[in-house]
Structure 1
Amino acid sequence: MAEELLLLAYDDESGRAIGSRIGLDLAMAAGVLVELALEGRIVYVDKTIIARDATPTGVAIVDEVLSRVAADSPHTPDSWLQRLRHGLRDRALADLCARGVLCDVDETTMNGFVHLHRYPTVDPTVEVEMRARLTRALTADEAPDVRTAALATLVAAARMEPTLGLSGDELVAAHKRLERIGDEAGFTGSVSMEASTVRPSVALVIGVLVKAIQTALGTPRTAS
C-alpha cells in the first residue's frame, strides 16, 4: 500500500512527486502499518501500536517495519508515523526501480552539490490496476474491498486527491466520497464496529492512523 501511494503521487512522465512531500511520507508510513494490520501482525492496544505476531509476511519493506515494531517498546500511532516516515520513500523508490516499475534518472549537477533524481514510470501495470480500483470506489455504488477502502481513506487523510487528476468541484466531491468510504468501512467511528464488514482490530488501527495523519498535517475532517 505504501508503494501504491508513492506511485499515485509521482507523475508518470516527469518522475516528480505531486503535492505535499510530508503528506506522502506520512501516508506511506501509515500504509505499511495498515498492511501489517491486515496481515494480523499488529494491533492497537492502550493507545499504542504493538506487534502481535512477528512472523514475516514475505514483503521486504513491510517486514523491516514489522521487525522495528516487534523489537521496540510500544509507541502511539503519531509516534510510529514520525519514526517510520524518514527514509521510507527512498527505500520504496529503490525497490520499485530494482523491479523495473520505475527508473532512476540522476540529474545531479556537475559540481555534485545539488542532488536531483526523477523517477518516471517504466512499467505502469501496478499503478493502472490501483488507479482503476480507486476510480471504481469513487464512482460505483457498492462498497470497495477492505484494501481499496483503506487506500482511499489514506488518500483523503493526506489530501492526495490532486494526484487523481481532479480539480475544482470534482476535487472537493472526490474528497467527500473518499472520506465517506472510510466512514462506511468503520474506520472513523461513524459506523459501529459491529456494523462494519472490516475486522474490528483492522478498522481500529486504520482509524487511529488516519487521525494521526490529520493531526500531523493540521487537516481536520470536513463535513461530508
Structure 2
Amino acid sequence: MALDDTSGRTVGAKMNLDTALAAALLVELALAERISVAPAEAGWLERGKVTVINGRPTDDPDLDAVLAKLLAKEGQKVKNLVSTVSWRPISRGLRDRRLARLVQQGVLVENRTEVLGLRRYLTRDSGPQQEVRARLKSALIDGLTPTERTVALIALLEASGILHKLFPAEQRKLVKTRARQLSEGDWAAKAVKDAIAEASG
C-alpha cells in the first residue's frame, strides 16, 4: 500500500513509514496477546511501557526479534522502540526485510534503475493489495464494522500520511472523518497513532 504501482516509489514520508512498520510489529504482538502496552492514563512515567505476556516464538522472524529485545530488557517504551532516531530501533532494516519477503512471495518484483542502480519494487500480484483496499473501502466508505486489525491498519496508514492518497479527492473528507471515529474507539489504533506522532515529532 505504501508503494506506487507504476513507479515503485514510496508514497508518503519515508521516516513515518519506517516508524509505522515498527509500530505494526508491536500491534501484531498486542493483538496476538503476546505483549501489553501501558495506556496514557497510567501516567507520564508508565505510559507506553511494553510488558511481555507470552514470549513463545511466533512464525515470523521480525516478531521474534522484537520479543527477544523486549525480554532482554523489560519496560521499554513504544516511542523508543519505533522511533528511527532512537538507539537500535526495531525499525532498523525492517523495510528491506519486508520488501524482500514480498518479492519472495511473488507479490512484488524488484527492478534496478539503469543510471544509479536504485531499487524499485513494482506490483506483480495485485491480489493482496486489492483485498486490503476492499477492507478499507468497506470500513471507510461503506460504513461497515471492521475488525480490530483493519482499524489498526487504518490508523497506521493515516499516521503515515498514506491513507488519504488511496482514495479519490471527493471521498477524502469522508475517509478522514470515518478514520478518526474508528481510531478513537479502538485501543490499538489509538496506541499506533500516539506512538507514531510521538516518535516522529
Question: TM-score, normalized by length of structure 1?
Answer: 0.76
> Mind listing any 5+ residue stretches in structure 2 that lack a counterpart?
39-45, 84-88
What is the aligned partner in structure 1 of residue 100 from structure 2? 94
User: How many Å apart are 1:66 and its aligned residue?
Assistant: 2.1
Contact 1:9/1:163 (<8 A) preserved? no
Map 1:1-224 to 2 at 5 A.
8-45=1-38, 46-47=46-47, 48-82=49-83, 83-107=89-113, 109=115, 114-167=116-169, 170-185=171-186, 187=187, 203=188, 206-218=189-201
2-structure distance, mates of 1:135, 1:76: 33
- Partner deviation per Cα, 1:46-94 (whole Å, 9 max, x = no partner): 3311222111221232222222222234211110112122211111001
Q: Which amino acid aligns with 2:119?
A: H
2-structure distance, mates of 1:175, 1:86: 30
Structure 1 ranges of 4+ moved more than 4 A: none
2-structure distance, mates of 1:155, 1:146: 14
Where 1:29 maps in the other structure, the secondary structure is helix
Q: Which amino acid aligns with 1:38?
A: L
2-structure distance, mates of 1:142, 1:174: 13
- Partner deviation per Cα, 1:99-135 (whole Å, 9 max, x = no partner): 11111112264xxxx4511000111121111111011
User: How many Å apart are 1:207 and its aligned residue?
Assistant: 2.8
**RMSD (Å), alpha carbons:** 1.9
Call closer, same or farther: CA 1:81–1:108 in 2, change over 3 Å.
farther
Contact 1:9/1:18 (<8 A) preserved? yes
User: How many Å apart are 1:38 and its aligned residue?
Assistant: 0.7
Aligned length: 188
Contact 2:158/2:164 (<8 A) preserved? no
Q: Which amino acid aligns with 1:86?
A: R
Contact 1:39/1:57 (<8 A) preserved? no
Structure 1, 174-183 or 61-70: larger mean CA deviation: 61-70
User: How many Å apart are 1:150 and its aligned residue?
Assistant: 1.0
Question: TM-score, normalized by length of structure 2?
Answer: 0.84
> Mind listing any 5+ residue stretches in structure 1 that lack a counterpart?
1-7, 188-202, 219-224
